[in-house]
Chain A
Amino acid sequence: MSESVLRIDDLSIVYRTARGLVRATSHVSFSLAKGETIALIGESGSGKTTLSLALIRMLPAAAQITSGAIHYTRNGQTRNVLSLSPGDMRAFRWKECAMVFQGAQNAFNPVLRIRQQFADTAAAHGIKDPEVVKARTLELLRLVRLDPQRVYDAYPHEMSGGMKQRALLALGVLLDPQVVILDEPTTALDILTQRAIIDVLNEMQKRLNFSIIFISHDLALAAEMADRVATMYAGEIVELAPVAEMFYRPHHPYTLGLLRSVPKLDQRRDDLVSIPGDPPNLIDPPSGCKFHPRCQFATDHCHQEAPPLVEYTPGHFAACWHTDKVAAARSGFIDLKEVKKDDRS
Chain B
Amino acid sequence: MATLNPPIRSASSRPPSLTASARLRRLARSYTLRVFAQAVVTVWAVITFTFFLIRLMPGNPVDVYIDFLMNQQNITYEEARARAASQFKFDPDANIFVQYGEYMGRLIQLDLGESITSTGTRVIEQIARFLPWTVFSVGLGLFISFILGVTIGTIMAYLRNSWLDNLFSLLASILGAVPNYIWGLLILIVFGVQLQWFQVGALRGTYNSSLTPGFNLTFLLSVLTHAALPVLVYVLGSIGRWMLNMRNSTIGTLGEDYVSVARARGLPPSRILLAYVGRNAALPMFTLLAIDIGFIIGGSVIIEELFVYKGIGSFLFWSISQRDYTSMQGVFLVITISVVFSNVLADLLYSQLDPRVRVGGGEK
Touch between chains A and B, by CB atoms below 8 Å: yes
CB within 8 Å of B: which residues of A? 56, 58, 90-95, 98-99, 101, 103-113, 120-121, 124-125, 127, 132, 135-136, 138-139, 142, 147-150, 152-155, 157-158, 168, 171, 176
| B355:A149 contact, CB within 8 angstroms | no
| A107:B257 contact, CB within 8 angstroms | yes
Of all chain A residues, which has the CB nearest B268?
A: A124
Chain B residues near A104 (CB, 8 Å)? 257
Docked complex Cα distance between A104 and B260 (Å)? 11
| B264:A98 contact, CB within 8 angstroms | yes
Of all chain A residues, which has the CB nearest B267?
A: A124
Of all chain B residues, which has the CB nearest A103?
A: B257
Q: SS class of chain B's interface: helix, strand, loop or mixed?
A: helix
| A93:B275 contact, CB within 8 angstroms | no
23 pairs, A vs B, C-beta closer than 8 Å: A58-B264, A92-B266, A93-B264, A93-B265, A94-B265, A101-B261, A103-B257, A106-B257, A107-B261, A109-B258, A109-B262, A110-B258, A110-B354, A110-B355, A121-B265, A121-B266, A124-B266, A136-B4, A142-B7, A142-B10, A157-B356, A157-B360, A158-B359
| A109:B265 contact, CB within 8 angstroms | no
Docked complex Cα distance between A93 and B14 (Å)? 35
| B258:A107 contact, CB within 8 angstroms | yes
Docked complex Cα distance between A70 and B322 (Å)? 81
Asked whether B187 is an interface residue with its Cβ less than 8 Å from the other chain, the reply is: no
Asked whether B118 is an interface residue with its Cβ less than 8 Å from the other chain, the reply is: no
| A101:B4 contact, CB within 8 angstroms | no
Chain B residues near A109 (CB, 8 Å)? 258, 262, 275-276, 280
A289 to chain B, nearest CB (A): 34
Chain B residues near A139 (CB, 8 Å)? 4-5, 7
> Which 10 pairs between the two chains have the least Cβ-Cβ distance?
A93-B266, A106-B257, A139-B7, A149-B13, A155-B355, A94-B265, A94-B266, A107-B261, A124-B267, A109-B258
| B21:A132 contact, CB within 8 angstroms | no
Chain B residues near A121 (CB, 8 Å)? 265-267
Q: Which residues B140-184 have CB closer than 8 A to chain A?
A: none
| A58:B263 contact, CB within 8 angstroms | yes
Asked whether B120 is an interface residue with its Cβ less than 8 Å from the other chain, the reply is: no
Asked whether B20 is an interface residue with its Cβ less than 8 Å from the other chain, the reply is: yes
Asked whether B256 is an interface residue with its Cβ less than 8 Å from the other chain, the reply is: yes
Also in contact, A138 and B7, with CB within 8 A (given A110-B280, A111-B354): yes
Chain B residues near A135 (CB, 8 Å)? 6-7
Partner of B356, one of A93, A99, A101, A155: A155
| A153:B17 contact, CB within 8 angstroms | yes
B46 to chain A, nearest CB (A): 33
Also in contact, A149 and B5, with CB within 8 A (given A94-B264, A109-B275): no
| A101:B260 contact, CB within 8 angstroms | yes
B319 to chain A, nearest CB (A): 45
Chain B residues near A107 (CB, 8 Å)? 257-258, 261
Docked complex Cα distance between A230 and B283 (Å)? 44
Docked complex Cα distance between A257 and B7 (Å)? 48
Docked complex Cα distance between A315 and B247 (Å)? 52
Asked whether B34 is an interface residue with its Cβ less than 8 Å from the other chain, the reply is: no
Docked complex Cα distance between A292 and B20 (Å)? 60
Docked complex Cα distance between A108 and B147 (Å)? 26
Chain A residues near B306 (CB, 8 Å)? none
Other contacts beyond A104-B257, A110-B356: 14, CB < 8 A: A90-B268, A92-B266, A93-B265, A93-B266, A99-B264, A108-B261, A110-B354, A111-B280, A111-B354, A120-B265, A125-B266, A139-B5, A149-B13, A152-B17
A325 to chain B, nearest CB (A): 42
Of all chain A residues, which has the CB nearest B257?
A: A106
Asked whether B353 is an interface residue with its Cβ less than 8 Å from the other chain, the reply is: yes
| A56:B355 contact, CB within 8 angstroms | no
A159 to chain B, nearest CB (A): 12
Also in contact, A149 and B16, with CB within 8 A (given A136-B4, A142-B7): yes
Q: Which of A105, A109, A138, A152 has the most CB of B within 10 A?
A: A109
Asked whether B279 is an interface residue with its Cβ less than 8 Å from the other chain, the reply is: yes
Of all chain A residues, which has the CB nearest B277?
A: A109
What 0/1 readout, one digit per residue, does chain B (274-309) give for beta carbons within 8 Å of chain A?
011001100100000000000000000000000000
Asked whether B15 is an interface residue with its Cβ less than 8 Å from the other chain, the reply is: yes
Also in contact, A176 and B17, with CB within 8 A (given A101-B260, A111-B283, A124-B271): no
Chain A residues near B217 (CB, 8 Å)? none
B25 to chain A, nearest CB (A): 12
A166 to chain B, nearest CB (A): 15
Chain B residues near A91 (CB, 8 Å)? 266
Of all chain A residues, which has the CB nearest B354?
A: A111
Chain A residues near B108 (CB, 8 Å)? none
Also in contact, A90 and B266, with CB within 8 A (given A106-B258, A153-B20, A176-B1): yes
Chain A residues near B268 (CB, 8 Å)? 90, 124
What 0/1 readout, one digit per residue, does chain B (1-37) give for beta carbons within 8 Å of chain A?
1011111001001111100110000000000000000
Docked complex Cα distance between A168 and B262 (Å)? 12
Of all chain A residues, which has the CB nearest B5?
A: A139
Chain A residues near B283 (CB, 8 Å)? 111
Chain A residues near B279 (CB, 8 Å)? 111
A179 to chain B, nearest CB (A): 12
Docked complex Cα distance between A184 and B37 (Å)? 47
Docked complex Cα distance between A155 and B48 (Å)? 42
B20 to chain A, nearest CB (A): 5
Chain A residues near B276 (CB, 8 Å)? 109
Docked complex Cα distance between A153 and B19 (Å)? 11
Chain A residues near B280 (CB, 8 Å)? 109-111
Docked complex Cα distance between A125 and B17 (Å)? 27
A322 to chain B, nearest CB (A): 41
| A120:B355 contact, CB within 8 angstroms | no
